[in-house]
Chain A
């Protein structure tokens, strides 16, 4: 009865494959360059985490937390959390995951904030952008892991790419929200005193949007951390690796151990970066 409908199947899968084949054939130099830049970024951040003695890194992170909060509770929590990680023997994996999160932050904020600003200034652009952002956030992550492997092989880079695709809509949306909700009265005041467009952006719009942009940063970190297990599937190092290994071996103990470490790191990052006024 449904023959007329199923007789001709719309070639969704074929089209996607053709597009990716074409991209691979013609955009190779672009993806290679991208992969090189990402690898460079990851290596540097990983070096910063792994070259010094773990105690030194923990001390620096604790001190940075204190500088942000100016109280003793949160830095104490951060120190205790990392000491627990060391105690469980997951420092290497944790530093790798932190590297992935930090790289994702750099890329997502570096790309997301300018796009968010541009979208806030050009409503037409945002109308085009919105369905794309929706797609990036709703398309199951596994689906774009496949082309990520095709373009970037196995390792940290495809993990980072997959993370960025999933996460970057958050800072874009929040930056857009922040910039476009700058009170009209402030924009007018800036105009009335003769601000150039760039003065208006730097002196009025960005400071006014700062709370939302910081919320975007927080979201970026949390969402990136939620991607560490999936990134492990394409060969990214980090806390996702023992989780995947535990899943394969049906090893309950290992799974909970690694899972708990992820939770601890998530709580630390969230508390350390949540600055309530």
Chain B
């Protein structure tokens, strides 16, 4: 059973979505639909399954509908047609059709969220913010759980400060801790690092990957930055104008972009983040051997001592040389 299932989800902003849906079904663009019916297309017919423990990145330019789709998971955006199923224990709950009480329980215990603008309560301390979700759910052992989360995100000793005294990066750690604290198995992250400066952003990405290795939550992550998407996501769904145009692993997208839009994204990204030894092969033998999945960042320093043989298990695939790397990167 998938942790989250999007089943032909359509989201429309406006007062008469039923007029606009047929036009969307005919494949009309957002601008055309708005011209004809005054309704704004948020998402059209998005279907996607997110497995338990997986990190899926929704990726696209601003206005592509990625945040809109994410916010359908916890019902912040109403779905006009289709279903969003969220796993709750042994059953799947349709967020678009369940009662307000049920939705509230899901939000308290199953689905937590991290926001781009943090969404912290400025009059509260760091601890009180981290404990916010637990407080709403009426959790008993709030103090210990908050302390554990503060330790997890490296904010030991900051608990009694007001959030306003913290830098942007630290505030977002508070946001992460608040989301982790409820022990919700599903985390929604709406461009959580976009408002941060690049150094802090990279560090928090690394920390998130590390935390995820331990915590094994299901993460749906929204980003407009393909480098970030490739770094964090096990799978990436690329959206354009409210529709999913391609969904696959970073390798699949990098080596086989489905449209010009995707190809443009790929062309602008840093290839060092995705390429592995397998991608820079040439025929021949090397002195030492490495695995085919070794990231190219790790391969390059080793090349100083000559060509390397690339192995997949016991099978010899070819070799990597400085020349073959340069050729692949300039291709």
Q: Footprint of B on A, CB under 8 Å? A: 185-186, 188-196, 199, 203-204, 207-208, 210
A210 to B76, CA, bound (A): 26
Does B107 lie within 8 Å of A204, measured CB to CB?
A: no
Does B107 lie within 8 Å of A192, measured CB to CB?
A: yes
Interface string of B260-271 (1 = CB under 8 A from A): 000000000000
Does B119 lie within 8 Å of A185, measured CB to CB?
A: yes
Interface string of B112-136 (1 = CB under 8 A from A): 1101011111010000000011011
Q: A190's closest neighbor in chain B, by CB?
A: B136
Beyond the given A186-B121, A194-B133, A195-B104, please list 19 additional residue pairs across the A-B interface where CB-CB is below 8 A. A185-B115, A185-B117, A186-B119, A188-B76, A188-B119, A189-B119, A189-B121, A192-B111, A192-B112, A192-B113, A192-B119, A193-B107, A193-B113, A193-B133, A193-B136, A194-B107, A194-B109, A194-B136, A196-B104
Q: Which of B107, B111, B119 counts the most chain A CB atoms within 10 A? A: B119
Does A207 lie within 8 Å of B119, measured CB to CB?
A: no
Does A193 lie within 8 Å of B132, measured CB to CB?
A: yes
Q: Which of A195, A204, A207 counts the most chain B CB atoms within 10 A? A: A195
CB distance from A260 to the nearest CB of B (A): 40
CB distance from A262 to the nearest CB of B (A): 36
Task: Report if A194-B105 is in contact (Cβ < 8 Å); known contacts: A188-B76, A199-B136.
Answer: yes
Does A191 lie within 8 Å of B107, measured CB to CB?
A: yes
Which B residues touch A204, using CB under 8 A?
121
Does A194 lie within 8 Å of B113, measured CB to CB?
A: no
Q: Which of A190, A193, A207 counts the most chain B CB atoms within 10 A? A: A193
Which A residues touch B112, using CB under 8 A?
192-193
A232 to B167, CA, bound (A): 56
Query: Of A188, A194, A199, A208, which contacts B115 at CB under 8 A?
Result: A188
Which A residues touch B108, using CB under 8 A?
193-194
A196 to B105, CA, bound (A): 10
Does B104 lie within 8 Å of A194, measured CB to CB?
A: yes
Does A207 lie within 8 Å of B136, measured CB to CB?
A: no
Which A residues touch B104, using CB under 8 A?
194-196
Task: Report if A192-B76 is in contact (Cβ < 8 Å); known contacts: A207-B121, A207-B123.
Answer: yes
Q: A204's closest neighbor in chain B, by CB?
A: B121
CB distance from B35 to the nearest CB of A (A): 28
What are 13 A-B pairs with beta-carbon distances under 8 A?
A185-B115, A188-B76, A192-B111, A192-B119, A193-B132, A194-B104, A194-B106, A194-B107, A194-B133, A194-B137, A195-B104, A199-B136, A208-B121
Q: Is B182 an interface residue (CB 8 A)?
A: yes
CB distance from B115 to the nearest CB of A (A): 6
Interface residues on chain B, number (Cβ under 8 Å): 27
Which A residues touch B123, using CB under 8 A?
207-208, 210
Which B residues touch A208, using CB under 8 A?
121, 123
Q: Is B74 an interface residue (CB 8 A)?
A: yes
Considering the complex of A and B, which 7 residue pairs feature the smallest CB-CB distances, nearest first?
A194-B107, A189-B119, A194-B108, A192-B113, A193-B133, A194-B104, A185-B119
A227 to B181, CA, bound (A): 53
Does A189 lie within 8 Å of B115, measured CB to CB?
A: yes
A186 to B124, CA, bound (A): 12
A207 to B109, CA, bound (A): 25
Interface string of B127-158 (1 = CB under 8 A from A): 00000110111000000000000000000000
A199 to B120, CA, bound (A): 16
Which B residues touch A203, using CB under 8 A?
121, 132, 135-136
Which A residues touch B132, using CB under 8 A?
189, 193, 203
Which A residues touch B109, using CB under 8 A?
194
A210 to B124, CA, bound (A): 13
Interface string of B40-77 (1 = CB under 8 A from A): 00000000000000000000000000000000001010
CB distance from A188 to the nearest CB of B (A): 6
Does B182 lie within 8 Å of A193, measured CB to CB?
A: yes
A259 to B63, CA, bound (A): 63
A199 to B107, CA, bound (A): 14
Q: B181's closest neighbor in chain A, by CB?
A: A193
Q: Which of B72-122 contact A (CB under 8 A)?
A: 74, 76, 103-109, 111-113, 115, 117-121
A37 to B128, CA, bound (A): 40
Which A residues touch B115, using CB under 8 A?
185, 188-189, 192
Which B residues touch A199, using CB under 8 A?
136
CB distance from B13 to the nearest CB of A (A): 15
Which B residues touch A190, using CB under 8 A?
136
Which B residues touch A207, using CB under 8 A?
121, 123
Which A residues touch B133, using CB under 8 A?
193-194
A186 to B121, CA, bound (A): 7
A207 to B107, CA, bound (A): 22
CB distance from B109 to the nearest CB of A (A): 8
CB distance from A159 to the nearest CB of B (A): 38
A194 to B113, CA, bound (A): 11
Which A residues touch B121, using CB under 8 A?
186, 189, 203-204, 207-208
A196 to B123, CA, bound (A): 20
A208 to B122, CA, bound (A): 9
Which A residues touch B103, using CB under 8 A?
194
Q: A191's closest neighbor in chain B, by CB?
A: B76
A186 to B105, CA, bound (A): 19
